[in-house]
Every structure is written in structure tokens, then in C-alpha cells.
Amino acid sequence: MPSPSQDQAFSTSRRRFLQQTGQLLIGFSILPALGKLSTAVAESGTPPFADAINTWLRIDADGQLTVLTGKTELGQGIKTALMQIAAEELDIPMKNVHIVIADTGRTPDERYTAGSASIESSGGAIREAAAEARRVLLGMAATELKVPVDQLLVKDGVVTAATSQQSVSYAALLKGKAIEGTVTGKAPQKDPSKYTIVGTAWPREDIKLMATGQPVYIQDMRLPDMVHARILRPPVYGAKLKSLPDNATGNAAGIIKLVRNGSFVGVITRDEYQAIKAIRNLQQKAVWDRPLLLPAQDGLYDHLLQQTGNSEVVERNDKVEPAIAAASNQVEAVYKRPYQIHGSIGPSCAIALWQNNELTVWSHTQGAFPLRSTLSDLLRLPETSIRVIATPGAGCYGHNGADDVGADAALLAMQLPGKPVRVQWMREDEHSWEPYGSAMVMRLKGGLDKDGKLLALHTELWSDTHSSRPGGKAGHFIAGRDLEQPFTFTAGRFSGGSYRNALPLYDTLRQVVLNNCKGPLRSSALRSLGAYANIFALESFMDELAHKAGKDPARFRLDNLKDDRAKAVIETVMKMTQWNDRMERREPQRGLGIAFAQYKNDAAYFAVVAEVEIDTAAKQYRLKKLTGAIDAGQVINIDGVKNQTEGGMIQSASWSMLESVRYHEKGIITRGWDTYPIMRFKSVPAIEVAVLNRPGMEPMGAGEAAQGPVAAAIANALFQATGSRLRELPLRPAQINWK
Amino acid sequence: MEKTVVLRVNGHPNSVTIDPETPLLYALRNHLQLNGPKYGCGVALCGSCMVLLDGKAQPSCIMPCSAAATHEITTLEGIGNQQQLHPVQRAVIDLQAAQCGYCLNGVIMCGKQLLDENPDPSDEEIREALQRVLCRCGTHTRFIGAIKKAAVYKRQ
């Protein structure tokens, strides 16, 4: 395996790309390296030595540190944060630190990059490995310098004896050899109060590359002899290809191969636009058996509500129903969330190469290892013959078309040995075939005593799955279902995504029941999963309860919370917005709304105040400002947390105000940005975020904390401004009673 | 079908053998190996493929090469590089105004046109100038800040 110092010797732009994305091997010596790495993986089935220091960290003869993570970069800045953790623990300057992201041939298997868990999981593992490496290196230095370990100091990768001032670098100790040893988890870790790199706003180096048009994304990869392809997707779920005339591509130029396997059709061409034109021809000439897409959209929520046969009690408390029945004030409300899209700005893309009985797939998947096992199922190839290399793409925000297009590219590449096949989905493919965030219905009941104190909360919810990731089963690929001998899709049992954050954090009696449903549209993980809708419902409902109790909604939340960190984020946004003053003043045409959640009830705390301005004459409203406060424990990169939180707030505002997938019996209607608009610059609110750093506390995932609270805060602000309670997302002005 | 089309890109003429109805975007990316303009929607609704045509920001995904050949084309690569950054590029880096960065091309190209025409734009004018660009990560407010900062750099 080439060392990072070799990486640095390259200077052409292609080599820079390879270096930046950790794929040095592409186009140079991929095949021998691939064979060798595959064998190493073959021996154990899982990464060779998951607990070896060398699995996570390598220091070369020039003192360059390479961090290996099984997680992938999705635009969230994880590469920088993980490098900061390793650099901090080892006292190596950031300029000498590099990182390789998920690659089934090189890195540990860390499953999916999802659930805002990378800092906790991969970050934790890298910190332990780095602490262990430091212990090993200090042991070696003690021998070399003939002084006890406790008299050694480290600065910039150089170990110095306090007494003699003699020193030796990590690189000189290792001389290019691996850091021997296993990660015991017992090596002493640096005291967080001494951190100088972790917690700072270390800049992401990839932004310079992005801003200057360097190759950064999988979409920018150009391999020697690469060819292009597009897929003829069915017009609607489950459609079967009845006929495709032999001359279906017309006389389109540049066609290398038309691949058909059952209802799966792809066309491979020399130039990219030739494939696009060929597919347009095919779309006109293909004849399909088309099942109807039912139930009709106006009956969607009733369709969900009727499904109570597959329910589970998430938390039982037999006192809840009697407490509500006996309460002097009872409140009940039903909230709805439509199907919504991930909406990557760059449609999904993959490159696959089948050569010498080895398949290599470059993919912006969130799970390189699970994609490999699913490709193995699809192609009936042993995993040891497949290498999946994670390569950054456009932001995905969950399980979008990334894995599907990987399967598309693999199926085509198998039919054209020796040529890298690049497939990029068209915009309509992404909009109509990505697995959406599931439609959901939430029914909440609550009781208040005569003093307005919250007695009990009961939640019942209806949702389809929030995870249909391809965990080894080819039926999870769109293409898998379309083959001549199709794989069938069976939804997984994971229901935790559906009831995420349905359980109130408030100090009250609570019961939660989930009805697992089957909806008409394909669904999977969209940023925060069910938490988005569950928090929208709960935090809207808390506002309804506060109103019924005659209490200030912020005060009402504080009165029903015991967790000090929860209270702190709420108090912070109250202070930032002068909440108390402004609630007293009540400006005309303005509304303020507050909402709060601790993501997953165990990750970051987040509170937000939304400020809306209404235009009664025009029957419109405008979101003026969102003010948020987040506590994600120990912060690794303060600017990273801020950036993720700001982005989550704006994204959620777009979901909550504008977005809904529409369909009719012939298929998806919202196939582009014209029919599925998202928030544009002129509508974006002002954003202010405070980060409550907690050095010494566990770092907690921050990337999804804002999604749910923002939705509720906007609805609550609209209630204050208009008196209309909007319980169905998106929060359209037409739902408001303008009087 | 294929013809030789001469595209003037970033100050240099390039002879490209291509079906002249091919949208400019594909010629820039695949024939000229440029990465700045990106495919996003193919129907001029997202701004990912933005280039400057005679100094004006325009999508390159619907304009055929035959028509583009009559214009002076500038891509992200042509306004600055890692050694000599354009003020908008510099401001984006300084303010860390990106998440996934896929929309950054459109933001920078529209921002450049704006500052060429209006050295001291208001927030509203910046929003107006960036309105054609879609960002899904929610980096909008940082982009607005970056264009403001770039205006300051440019005046210095």
C-alpha cells in the first residue's frame, strides 16, 4: 500500500484528486493492489484486525499521519473532525494529517455513516487508537532516550526528554514500520481541558478545492477508457417491460451496448449526452405493463390510519389513559407529514469496473461495506471479489439513490469487462425513484390539571419504514426488482426510526404506540428519520397544551423538564430573542414560536425560536428568522457544529413550509424542481446559532438535531400570529384562516 | 452528426469534435475536463451548471454547443485558482461557506457577475443574484455573508 508521503509526490490534477479522496490507486496500480487487499479481507471476512492500532492509524517515514475511517464524507465535514481528534491525541500538527474514508479494501468496517453517530463511534475509536499509539510511541521513545515515560513531552510529532532535552520524532522511532499493538481502550487519553486542536474551528481543506473547481466528487472522476450510461427506469413502481423494439435507440450515435435484463434496461455510450438521447428514444418506444399507484393521494392518511394490525407498544404505562380521562383539561390533536425527498442537488452517480474477475465500485454510498454485501447478493459474486470505495458526492441527507445507482453501474459493468462504466441518474430519476421520508400520522392526547400542570401524554403514530437500506439483500435495489429473475423486497423490522423521539422527554406519564404501516411509495432514511414528524407533533402539541393551560409556551416547557441541559438550550434561545419582553409586547403581524428536543433523547439538545411575519392582505407569511441553541456535548469542531446546525435549520424550514411528494395512479408527479420546489435564497430566513460547548462531556451527534424542532417552531409562530393551528405539513398559507 | 466546434473557454479557443446540439455542459466537463459546472437538473432550474457567457451567469445545461460557440465562456476554473483566488472564492474559503459544496459553482459564478456590476450590493441584491441557485444543505446565509465579504475584498 502506498504511504501518504508517496501520495504527496504526485502533482497532476488527477493525482491530486486521488490523493484528496484517498483513492491513490485509481488508474495507476489498481489491479495488483485490489487483488492483494481483497485477499487480506478474505482471510477474516471482516476487516483483518479491527482492534489493531494499524487499522486506524499509520505514521510514515516522513512523519505523516494517515487516519483510516470506515465512515464517509457527506459534506458534513467529518474528515476534518476525525483528523482533529487523532492530531490532538498524538500531538501531530494538522498539516501532517491525512485521512482515508470508507473503502472495503483499506479501512475498518463501520457500517453506515448515519444517525449523527460518526463523532461518537468512529471518533471514539480513533481517539482510543491514537491514545494507544501514543502510549506505544512513548514507550519506544523512553527506551531510545533512556528516560522514564513520565519525563517525556510531545510537540509536533517529536518526543523530547524533559531533563536532557534529547529528542526523537515519531517517524524516527517507527522508521516507516507499522505501529505495533492492539487498542485496549485503556491507554490514557488527553485531558480535554488541555485540548488545542479539538474544539477549534479548524477549516475544512476541501472547501478550497470545491471553490476552485478541483475534482472533488465522484461526478468529477474520469478514468481511462471510461464510458457513460443511463438507465431506462419504469414509469411507475412495479411496471414490467412488455416490449422494446430492436431499433429502440433509433440511429443514436455512440452506442456501445444496450443492456436488457428483464425490465432493467441501460444504455452504454461513448459520450454522456449520447446516453441521454438514447434513453429519451427508449422512453418513447418502450411498452410497459403498468400497475396503478394506489391509494389515491387524497386518501393517503386514511390509508395509514386504517392500518393497526402491526402495532407495537413502544412504552407502556397503564396509568396514562386513566390520568388523561380524569384530567380537568383534555387535549387531543392529529398531525400529518407527507412523503418528502432527500433532493440531492447532484443526482446519484457511480462508476463500476469489472476486470480480471474483480468488481470495483466507486460510490457516494453511506455504507461501503453493506453495499458490497448487497452487490454480492445481486451479482452472485463472493464479497472478496468486490471492492467498494466511498467517494464524496453531493449532500445526501440519508439513504437516497446512491446505493441504487451503484447497483445500476455494477450490472452494466458486468456486461462490458475492462471498461469503467459511469452512471449518473437524471434529475427525474432522483426525484421519482429515491426512497422518500415516509408519510406519517401522529395522534396525541394529553391531560392538564386545574393549575395547568401536565399530567400525562399519549402518542399513537402511523408510519412506513424509515430504513430500507441495502443491508445485504438485492431486493432493496430498484434494479434488483426489475431483473428477469427478480429479487423481492421485504421491509426490515427496524421500527426504531419510526418512533424516534415519539417518547416525550418531558417529566410526565407517557405511553407510545406505533402502527407499522405499508404506504404506497418507496421510503427509507431521510435525515432524522421519524424524529422530524414526531417532534413536529409533540412540540406543536406542547404549544397547544400551554395555550390551554394559559401559560407561556417556553415557561410551560421549562416547568415540565428536569434535565438541566434541556433547560439551558431553551433559556439560551429565550435570552437571544428577548422572548419574555417580546411575548409581552406582541407586535402586530408578527409571531414567535418555540420548540425543543433532544435528538433521539440521547444526542444533541436543541431549542429554536421561529419568527414569522404575516401579510393578511396577500394571505401569505414569511419566515423572518430562526434562532437556535445547541448542546452537542464536547465540541470537536465548533464551526462544523454551527454549519451543520444552520444547514439543518434551513433545510427543515424548506421541508416544513414547501415540500410534499405528489403522485397519482400513473406514478410520481413531482419529478423535478418545478413541481417540487425547495426554498430559494429570497425566502431563506436570517439564522443565528449559539453552541453550548461542554468540554469533558461526551460528544453527541449534532447533524440532525434541528430538523424536528424547526418545523414545530414555525407552526407555533404561525399560531401566535394568526390563531390558526396548522397540523399538517407542509405549513401552507392556504391552511390559515385569514378571516 | 459530429462536427468541429470551436469553444472559447477561459480565454482560449478549443476545438471540440461533438454533435453540435450537445449542451455546452457536457463539452465542458467531458471534452475539456472542467469540473466547475456540474449536472444538477438539465433544465436550467438549479444553477449547478452555471458559467459566464460574455460575463453573464447562464446555465450551460440547455445551451447547445453550436450556440455557445458565439460567446466568450468562463468557468469557475477561469476566474481564479488555488494560487490566485478570485475574491468570491477567497471569501467562501475564509467563511467556510460550504457543506457538500455541489452548488458552490453556481453561487460563485452568480456572485462574480453581481460584484462585477455592483461593487457594494445589499443583502437583498445578493439574494436576488443567487435566486437561480439551489442549495440543499442550507448554506444560504453563509453564502450571502461570503458575497458581502468578497465585495469588501474586491474594493481593497
Q: Per-residue pLDDT tens for A420-429?
A: 999 999 999 9
Contact (CB<8Å) B30/A681: no
- Of A415, A433, A451, the position where a domain reaches its end is A433
Mean model confidence pLDDT for chain B: 97
Hey, what's the cell of A623? Answer: 419566515
Q: Mind telling me how many Å the CA of B142 is from chain A's nearest CA?
A: 9
Topology classification of domain B87-155: DNA polymerase; domain 1 (1.10.150)
Domain match, A73 and A127 both? yes
B35 interaction partners in chain A (CB closer than 8 Å): 213-216, 220
**pLDDT at residue B152 above 70?**
yes
Which residue in chain B is spatially nearest to A77 when comparing CA positions?
A: B99
Cross-chain CB nearest to B141 (options A201, A204, A646): A646
Identify the residue among B9, B30, B33, B141 best suited for mutation to test binding to A, counting A beta carbons within 10 A and taking the highest.
B141
Contact A183, A53 (CB under 8 A): yes
Contact (CB<8Å) B89/A644: no
Domain match, A134 and A247 both? no
Asked if B32 is an interface residue toward chain A (Cβ–Cβ < 8 A), one would say: no
Domain match, A9 and A48 both? yes
Asked if B63 is an interface residue toward chain A (Cβ–Cβ < 8 A), one would say: no
- The CA R_g of chain B, rounded to the nearest whole Å, is 15
> Among residues A304, A430, A390, which one has the least CA distance to residue A108?
A390
B105 interaction partners in chain A (CB closer than 8 Å): 213
Question: What is the count of structural domains for chain A?
Answer: 3
CA distance A470 to A491: 10
B98 interaction partners in chain A (CB closer than 8 Å): 75, 204, 207, 210-211
CA distance A150 to A134: 13
Cross-chain CB nearest to A394 (options B102, B141, B144): B102
pLDDT of residue A114: 87
Give the pLDDT confidence of A9-47 residue by residue, as tens digits.
323 333 333 333 333 222 222 222 232 333 222 222 334
Q: Which CATH number does the domain housing residue A30 bear?
A: 3.30.365.10
A490, part of any domain? yes
A123, part of any domain? yes
pLDDT of residue A44: 28
Domain match, A354 and A450 both? no
**pLDDT at residue A230 above 70?**
yes
DSSP A476: G
Among A118-127, A496-505, A676-685, the least confident range = A118-127
Which residue in chain A is spatially nearest to B84 when comparing CA positions?
A: A212
Among A45-54, A94-103, A181-190, B110-119, the least confident range = A45-54
CA distance B104 to A212: 9
CA distance A415 to A421: 10
pLDDT of residue B86: 98
Contact A351, A223 (CB under 8 A): yes
CA distance A366 to A391: 10
**pLDDT, average across residues B19-34:** 97
The interface predicted TM-score of the complex, written ipTM, equals 0.98
B42 interaction partners in chain A (CB closer than 8 Å): 276, 426-427
A720, part of any domain? yes
Domain match, A473 and A533 both? yes
Domain match, A248 and A356 both? yes
**pLDDT, average across residues A364-372:** 96
Contact A123, A223 (CB under 8 A): no
Cross-chain CB nearest to A395 (options B76, B99, B144): B99
Asked if A680 is an interface residue toward chain B (Cβ–Cβ < 8 A), one would say: yes
Contact (CB<8Å) B99/A215: no
Contact (CB<8Å) A678/B43: no
pLDDT of residue A49: 58
Asked if A577 is an interface residue toward chain B (Cβ–Cβ < 8 A), one would say: no
CA distance A577 to A226: 55
Contact B150, B94 (CB under 8 A): no
First to last CA, chain A: 71
Contact B38, B102 (CB under 8 A): yes
Give the pLDDT confidence of A598-625 residue by residue, as tens digits.
999 999 999 999 999 999 999 999 999 9
C-alpha A36, offset from chain centre: 32
Q: Mind telling me how many Å the CA of B116 is from chain A's nearest CA?
A: 18
Cross-chain CB nearest to A346 (options B34, B38, B45): B38
Which residue in chain B is spatially nearest to A392 when comparing CA positions?
A: B100
Domain match, A119 and A255 both? no
Residue A284 contacts by C-beta under 8 Å, 6 or more apart in sequence?
none
Contact (CB<8Å) A345/B102: yes
**pLDDT, average across residues A385-403:** 96
Cross-chain CB nearest to A345 (options B93, B136, B143): B136
Domain match, A452 and A539 both? yes
Q: Mind telling me how many Å the CA of B32 is from chain A's nearest CA?
A: 12
Domain match, A231 and A167 both? no
A709, part of any domain? yes
Identify the residue whose cell numbers are 395512479. A665
Q: Are strands A686-691 and B72-74 parallel, antiparallel or unpaired?
A: unpaired
Residue-range domain boundaries for chain B: 3-79, 87-155
Query: Considering only residues 102 to 131 of chain B, which have any Cβ-Cβ distance to chain A shorter than 8 Å?
Result: 102-105, 108, 126-128, 130-131
Cross-chain CB nearest to A208 (options B46, B82, B135): B82
pLDDT of residue A351: 98
DSSP A483: S
Give the pLDDT confidence of A318-342 residue by residue, as tens digits.
999 999 999 999 999 999 999 999 9
Give the pLDDT confidence of A654-663 residue by residue, as tens digits.
999 999 999 9
Domain containing A422: what range? 218-290+342-433
B76 interaction partners in chain A (CB closer than 8 Å): 211-213
> Among residues B65, B49, B68, which one has the least CA distance to residue B57?
B49
pTM: 0.93
pLDDT of residue A27: 25
CA distance B27 to B16: 8
Cross-chain CB nearest to A272 (options B30, B80, B99): B30
Cross-chain CB nearest to B137 (options A75, A209, A681): A75
**pLDDT at residue A632 above 90?**
yes
Mean model confidence pLDDT for chain A: 91
C-alpha A532, offset from chain centre: 13
Contact (CB<8Å) A687/B41: no
Neighbouring CB atoms inside 10 A of A380's CB total: 7
CA distance A131 to A416: 47
Contact A699, A120 (CB under 8 A): yes
CA distance A352 to A410: 5
Confidence category of residue A702, pLDDT binned at 50, 70, 90: confident
Residue A1 contacts by C-beta under 8 Å, 6 or more apart in sequence?
A33, A37, A106
* % of chain A at pLDDT higher than 70: 93
Domain match, A108 and A199 both? yes
The CATH number of B3-79 is 3.10.20.30
Domain match, A180 and A198 both? yes
A299, part of any domain? no
First to last CA, chain B: 50
Asked if A628 is an interface residue toward chain B (Cβ–Cβ < 8 A), one would say: no
- Of A203, A229, A249, the position where a domain reaches its end is A203
Please name the residue ranges forming H helices in A232-362.
Answer: 272-285, 300-305, 320-326
A121, part of any domain? yes
Domain match, A423 and A463 both? no
Query: Considering only residues 410 to 449 of chain A, which have any Cβ-Cβ distance to chain B shorter than 8 Å?
Result: 424, 426-427
CA distance B60 to B65: 9
**Letter for the amino acid at A85?**
I
Contact A263, A292 (CB under 8 A): no
